[in-house]
Amino acid sequence: MELTVDKDLDAHTLTVVATFDHPVEKVWELYADPRKLERWWGPPTHPATMLEHDFVPGGSVHYVMTAPDGEQFHGRWDVLEVEPRHRFSVVDAFADVDGVAVPEMPLTRMEFSFEPTATGTRMVTVSRYDSLEALQQVLDMGVEEGLRGAMSQMDAVLEEG
């Protein structure tokens, strides 16, 4: 697995390029299969559960992340485009318990693309924020959701495997 992250302050965009030693079909399943998606979207301390997963253009995904104290944080994807095993794009939003986007909260447009390589798969993820304010707000929420510090929790996940 290789990983490069490009941070563009001016374009308020984060681009993640990752290569995996597994075929595109397997990497695609990590998104297309809700049981797999929920195993990595949230960090181990705040696991995600996919309550609704209509992974087609015009569909929506409703997930909840649960904190160690039981507090729950809901999120929603509006699925814009899906080309299986090739690319998809969504708008990620903070949601209420019914999976309805919370108004006036920042949105994140995310584009994902996948291509086969000689040894596996190259995945490109582009996250774009409306403004730096939006990014800051997402991160402030992320602190609550335990998204930060995810790296330090990796050891536990790897040990599970």
Partner 1 sequence: MVVSIELSDADVDRLFHALADATRRDIVRRSVDGDLSVSRLAEDYPMSFAAVQKHVAVLERVGLVTKVRRGRELLVRSEPETLRRARLALDQLAEVWEGRVQRMAALLDDDSTPEHQTRTKREG
Where does this chain bind partner 1 (CB under 8 A)?
Answer: 1, 3, 5, 7-10, 12, 14, 16, 18, 20-22, 26-27, 30, 36, 38-41, 43-44, 47, 66, 68, 125, 127, 131-133, 135-139, 142, 147-151, 153-154, 157-158, 160-161
Output 27 or 101, the one with its CB closest to partner 1. Answer: 27
Output 58 or 119, the one with its CB closest to partner 1. Answer: 119
Q: With residue 132 as reference, give the H or E element that holds it.
A: helix 132-145
Minimum distance of partner 1 from residue 1's CB (angstroms)? 4
Minimum distance of partner 1 from residue 28's CB (angstroms)? 11
Residues in contact with 71: Cβ distance below 8 Å, sequence separation at least 6, in sequence order: none
Q: How far is Cα 97 from Cα 73, in angstroms, rounded to an integer?
A: 8
Beta strands in the chain (DSSP E): 2-8, 13-20, 48-53, 60-66, 72-83, 87-95, 108-116, 121-129
**For tokens 């079909």, what's the residue?**
25
Output 19 or 57, the one with its CB closest to partner 1. Answer: 19
Output 58 or 142, the one with its CB closest to partner 1. Answer: 142
Output 4 or 57, the one with its CB closest to partner 1. Answer: 4
101 sits in the region (left: phi over 0; alpha: psi -120 to 50; else beta) called beta
Minimum distance of partner 1 from residue 58's CB (angstroms)? 25
Minimum distance of partner 1 from residue 6's CB (angstroms)? 9
Q: How far is Cα 15 from Cα 9, in angstroms, rounded to an integer?
A: 11
